[in-house]
């Protein structure tokens, strides 16, 4: 529950920044320059959900919410949007439980491992903000740097307490991310000009979770977990980008939340073998 709340905070941090109005009316030429600069900064803070934000707003305005007693969430959404909350923020928050359910299904039924539920969910939100190419590149830089530092500390038998060690690894991760961003202009096809501080900061802070999960595991296992985490994050990213899913979440929030809660309940009741385990032990199961 705490991890899901943290994922929700991640979404709010990413998308709420884009909804805050920073620019003032220009009064002089210098004011015009400052206003344009602020507008550009505000635009670059976050990339909204793929699709037109105006389209989602028009879709919301075209629906009759009905009775407030039967549809309290619909009325709450309209009130929040009327007071300046971005529609993208609302849609993304509504889709986070669905994303968590997708990841839980992939892990609990299919057997994909990955770094828990929080990390793939947070990565999918980062991919929405930065795009999958830049997001994956930054993610790999962070994982590689954290893994190399951990291996070097172990090889040279440098014993550090947990918190100072994590602070040192975080320092190295920041240096690695800075080096990657400084070298990005020389790499064709990799545009980091529109990447804001929020997704980068979130990825850097997630380095602690990467390292904690990797403790006591071999490099091969760490690579496998990283690959499966990327698969889960990309699958969640696709779910977040689907227009029909966005529209359904915006127009039927009560139904979406109830259906996801029911699905999670029944998913938690399943205690059998996962699909990958059935495939792995198919000969043994067939022999019985």
- For the stretch 29-81, pLDDT in tens is 444 444 444 444 444 434 455 455 588 889 999 999 999 999 999 999 999 99
Q: Quick one: how far is CA 42 from the chain centroid?
A: 20
Q: Which two tokens stand for residue 67?
A: 């009775």
Q: Return d(Cα 21, Cα 198) in angstroms, integer.
A: 17
Mean pLDDT confidence for 173-181: 87
**195 has pLDDT over 80:** no
Question: What Å distances lie between residue 179 and 1, 141, 173, 175, 198, CA to CA?
Answer: 35, 10, 10, 6, 18
Q: What is the 3-state secondary structure (H, E, C) of 220-269?
A: HHHHHHHHHHHHHHHHHHHHHHCHHHHHHHHHCHHHHHHHHHHHHHHHHH
pLDDT of residue 268: 95
Q: For the chain, what's the residue count? A: 288
* Bigger pLDDT: 280 vs 103: 103
Q: Return d(Cα 97, Cα 120) in angstroms, integer.
A: 13
- Would you give the DSSP letter of residue 184? G
- Give domain limits for the chain: 2-280
Place of tokens 């920044």: 17
* Per-residue pLDDT reduced to its tens digit, 132-146: 888 888 888 888 888
Task: Find all residues with CB under 8 Å of 261, minimum gap 6, and list them.
Answer: 97
Angle (CA) 164-167-168 rounded to 5° is 90
* Bigger pLDDT: 176 vs 11: 176
pLDDT of residue 49: 58
**110 has pLDDT over 60:** yes
Task: Find all residues with CB under 8 Å of 280, minimum gap 6, and list them.
Answer: none
Place of tokens 């602020």: 38
CA torsion angle for 169, 170, 176, 177 (degrees, to 10)? 160
Q: 49-53, 86-90, 175-179, 180-184: which has the minimum mean pLDDT?
A: 49-53
pLDDT-derived band at 288, boundaries 50, 70, 90:
low
Q: Return d(Cα 230, Cα 114) in angstroms, integer.
A: 8
Q: Is 251 exposed, middle or buried (0-12, 13-18, 19+ CB in 10 A)?
A: middle
pLDDT-derived band at 13, boundaries 50, 70, 90:
low
pLDDT of residue 285: 78
pLDDT of residue 231: 93
pTM of the model: 0.76
pLDDT of residue 53: 57
pLDDT of residue 93: 94
Q: Which two tokens stand for residue 157?
A: 């038998």
Mean pLDDT over the full length of the chain = 79
- Rg of the chain over all Cα atoms, to the nearest angstrom: 22
Q: Return d(Cα 271, Cα 79) in angstroms, integer.
A: 42
Q: How is the chain split among helix, strand and coil, in percent rounded to 5?
A: 75, 0, 25
- Would you give the DSSP letter of residue 51? S
* Per-residue pLDDT reduced to its tens digit, 88-97: 989 999 999 9
Angle (CA) 122-81-96 rounded to 5° is 20
Q: 69-78, 200-209, 246-255: which has the minimum mean pLDDT?
A: 200-209
* Per-residue pLDDT reduced to its tens digit, 144-176: 888 888 888 888 888 888 889 888 988 998 898
Percent of the chain clearing pLDDT 70 (strictly above): 76
């Amino acid at each position: 529950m705490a991890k899901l709340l943290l994922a929700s905070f991640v979404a709010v941090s990413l998308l709420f920044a884009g909804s805050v109005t920073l620019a003032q009316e220009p009064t002089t030429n210098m004011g015009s320059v400052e206003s344009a600069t602020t507008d550009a900064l505000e635009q670059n803070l976050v990339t909204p959900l793929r699709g037109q934000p105006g389209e989602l707003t028009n879709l919301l305005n075209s629906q009759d919410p009905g009775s407030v007693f039967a549809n309290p969430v619909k009325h709450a959404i309209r009130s929040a949007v009327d007071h300046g909350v971005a529609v993208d923020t609302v849609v993304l928050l509504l889709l986070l439980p669905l994303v968590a359910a997708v990841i839980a299904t992939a892990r609990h039924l299919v057997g994909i491992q990955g770094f828990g539920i929080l990390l793939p969910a947070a990565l999918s939100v980062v991919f929405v903000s930065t795009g999958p190419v830049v997001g994956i590149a930054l993610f790999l830089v962070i994982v590689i740097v954290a893994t190399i530092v951990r291996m070097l500390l172990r090889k040279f038998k440098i014993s550090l307490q947990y918190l100072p060690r994590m602070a040192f690894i975080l320092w190295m991760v920041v240096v690695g991310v800075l080096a990657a961003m400084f070298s990005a202009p020389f790499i064709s096809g990799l545009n980091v000009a529109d990447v804001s501080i929020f997704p980068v900061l979130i990825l850097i802070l997630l380095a602690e979770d990467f390292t904690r999960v990797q403790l006591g595991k071999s490099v091969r296992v760490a690579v496998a977990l990283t690959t499966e985490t990327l698969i889960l994050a990309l699958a969640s990213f696709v779910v977040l980008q689907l227009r029909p899913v966005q529209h359904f979440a915006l127009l039927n929030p009560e139904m979406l939340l109830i259906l996801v809660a029911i699905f999670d309940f029944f998913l938690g009741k399943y205690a059998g073998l996962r699909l990958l385990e059935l495939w792995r032990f198919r000969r043994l199961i067939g022999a019985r």
